[in-house]
Chain A
Amino acid sequence: MAPQVKVAILGSGNIGTDLMYKILRDPGHLRLALMAGIDADSEGLARARALGIPTSHDGISAVLDDPEIKIVFDATSARAHVRHAPLLREAGKIAIDLTPAARGPYVVPPVNLGQHLDEPNVNLITCGGQATIPLVYAVSRVTPVRYAEIVSTVASRSAGPGTRQNIDEFTFTTARGLEALGGAEQGKAIIILNPAEPPILMRNTVYLVPAVAFDQEAVIASVEKMVADVQRYVPGYRLKSPPVFDRRSTPWGERVVIAMLLEIRGAGDFLPPYAGNLDIMTAAARQVGELFAQHLLGIREEAVA
């Protein structure tokens, strides 16, 4: 059996529970040693117990009590993570933050994961960021991007109270991620909740205004490669068509705008397949955890499952 690193999930809600199933289905170098919540009666903790995973409803303290736990996935809330971050750091644990707290650098696996393996805390931005930043980066690595705008449309049922009460944070954080990681000079993010029944799959539109005249074939090839890279950890990630090139008037004059229509079908590990927005967060978290584990174990350049 492959050597493994002990990890814990903090937060036994929908995200934490989906992540638990993802790790159990494909553990790689991760051994799930603890699922910690604050509600003894939560469905997530009950499911973990039924699967033989040690649980605690005492929040972060059980995580801190076990020195062998080296990596902690925080799927609680931004406010809770602000409190957790220094405690985890003092305890020498790596925090993979699925909340919008942003205590550590932003990480999107196929874009910059390798750069932050010595950080004690990394942040996964937002679902819209995990979905669209790879595509923005795919273009900006072949031609400079003046402006990136993304529209994320998610099923109403997949937007929990945290998202609903903090919708502005989605907008700010995603826009910053488009700039910091996507490489766009200026980023803008829009989120729309759609209550259609049956629920719609997560849909994202990425519009890019390149800074200069560009090679359309090079853009298409770079985007195709990136989609394949993301599909390695999010199998339901797909463009609905090749990039569309459309002439539009912009503040920078009449420009060829690149439009990409992205759809994400979740793996359905725990959450329903339409919730691709949540699936890409837990899939990215597992992927980031795996790479940290390999790094801790001194394994180099192993193909990441």
Chain B
Amino acid sequence: MRGPRVTDTTLRDGSHAMKHQFTREQVRQIVQALDAASVPVIEVTHGDGLAGSSIQYGFSGTPEMELIETARLEASRAKIAVLLIPGIGTRQELREAAQRGVQVVRIATHCTEADISEQHFGLAKELGLETVGFLMMAHMRPPEFLAEQAALMESYGADCVYIVDSAGAMLPDDVRMRVRALKECLSVQVGFHAHNNLGLAIGNTLAAIAAGADQVDGCLPGLGAGAGNAPTELIAAVLDRLGINPGLDVFKLMDAAEYVVAPIMPYQPIPDRDAITIGYAGVYSTFLLHARHIAAEFGLDPRELLVELGRRQAVAGQEDWILDVAVDLARAEQKVACPRSGRATDRDERSSQ
């Protein structure tokens, strides 16, 4: 085994937990710390990628292009990456990010929709950027299917394709089979992005590396959507113990997690009951805070919303479906709860016995 390239996405996936309120100063400090610890790639974007600033996902406190530029100026060795989700971001924002000095673009689609990314890979290559394809919600399709989608991204110009466990729903065997399928089918690199909703982010990252993953993602100290991602400082420590540390400074990353990121986090993402439900039901990790907000307004348990969203096969970016489900569930509960004066429903009769 050899050490994978580690991309830190505190400043992108962590943006969800921060409700997209990272400031220039925070970006400056975090990039400085990661760069000093020899992290080779740092992703900086709104949590939902370029142009994600919206009512649907939450508005950015500081325009992302300013944060990207700040990161670029601060990094001496690390490359700066951005996320682009076709359907949300467009080639227009990609051009602007490239003008601000971005070197890597990670282009993400739902794991069945790789063919909407062709024009974006095309432009990225024209601009001379390194390209990574992201197959999101990859737990929803089997390994062979994902390999076909990954091959499409490779044909469009991806230098690496990731299996993305957006829901934190995979078990180590799920990861191993998917990474292996891509390794067998592609001639470019393969990556893996974990979420910790079932407490398996580090375990799954190790399973991916054992299966041949060339790139993995982390966040200091796991600051990301849902229960967060694999903590970058933990990835470094574990790779070091495995004897495959790709050059990361373990102590500096621990310090960065503890003294730079932890003090500004609104909370430490952990697999609490709502986050576990996300992994269990297989829904997009970023639904966490939105589901809590809407559940509170409608007097519902967020877990009811999340399980129903999983049943309806919601995909990445469908935060507006949370409101749909809340409206439907609230209406259904009224139907059961209201007719007390008339004929009691079965549920009322049972509960009164």
Contact = CB atoms under 8 A, between A and B. Distances in A.
B351 to A, nearest CB: 28
Given A193-B110, A196-B313, A149 B54 contact: yes
Contacts of B59: 249-251
A207 B317 CA distance: 15
Contacts of B273: none
Interface stretch (B83-91, B210-218, B336-344): B83-91
Given A251-B59, A261-B320, A168 B91 contact: yes
For B51, B113, B314, the residue with the greatest tally of chain A CB atoms inside 10 Å of its CB is B113
Contacts of B315: 192-196
B119 interface: yes
A116 interface: no
Contact of A171 (B90, B118, B314): B90
B90 A168 contact: yes
Interface in B316-333: 316-318, 320-321, 323-324, 327-328
A240 B87 contact: no
Contacts of B116: 164-165, 167, 193
A240 B327 contact: yes
Nearest to B109: A193
Interface string A251-290: 1000001010100000000000000000000000000000
Contacts of B55: 147, 149, 207, 209, 248, 250, 257
A194 B54 contact: no
B115 interface: yes
Interface in A114-135: none
A174 to B, nearest CB: 11
B184 interface: no
B155 interface: no
A191 to B, nearest CB: 5
Nearest to B53: A251
A61 interface: no
A167 B323 contact: no
Contacts of B112: 156, 195
A158 interface: no
B53 to A, nearest CB: 8
Interface in B25-80: 51, 54-56, 59
Contacts of B2: none
A244 B327 CA distance: 10
Given A193-B113, A250-B59, A166 B119 contact: yes
A153 B318 contact: yes
B313 A171 contact: no
A149 B86 CA distance: 16
A20 to B, nearest CB: 28
Interface in A153-199: 153, 156, 161, 164-168, 170-172, 188, 190-197
A167 B315 CA distance: 17
Given A164-B116, A205-B56, A246 B324 contact: no
For A149, A192, A197, A261, the residue with the greatest tally of chain B CB atoms inside 10 Å of its CB is A192
Contacts of A29: none
B339 to A, nearest CB: 21
A168 B121 CA distance: 13
A197 B141 CA distance: 13
A191 B320 CA distance: 12
Contact of B87 (A190, A195, A249): A190
B87 A261 contact: no
Nearest to A198: B313
B313 A193 contact: no
A161 B113 CA distance: 11
A191 B315 CA distance: 12
For B54, B87, B112, B115, the residue with the greatest tally of chain A CB atoms inside 10 Å of its CB is B87
Interface in B236-262: none
A209 B113 CA distance: 31
Given A190-B54, A207-B56, A165 B323 contact: no
A168 B86 contact: yes
B118 to A, nearest CB: 6
A151 interface: yes
A254 B110 CA distance: 32
Given A149-B56, A194-B318, A195-B315, A167 B297 contact: no
Contacts of B118: 164-165
Nearest to B117: A167
Contacts of A241: 327
Interface string A133-158: 00000000000000101010100100
B90 A261 contact: no
A203 interface: yes
Given A192-B318, A195-B315, A165 B119 contact: yes
14 contacts: A149-B55, A149-B56, A165-B116, A168-B90, A168-B92, A188-B54, A193-B315, A195-B112, A200-B312, A207-B56, A240-B324, A240-B327, A241-B327, A250-B59
Interface of A: 147, 149, 151, 153, 156, 161, 164-168, 170-172, 188, 190-197, 200, 203, 205, 207, 209, 240-241, 244, 246, 248-251, 257, 259, 261
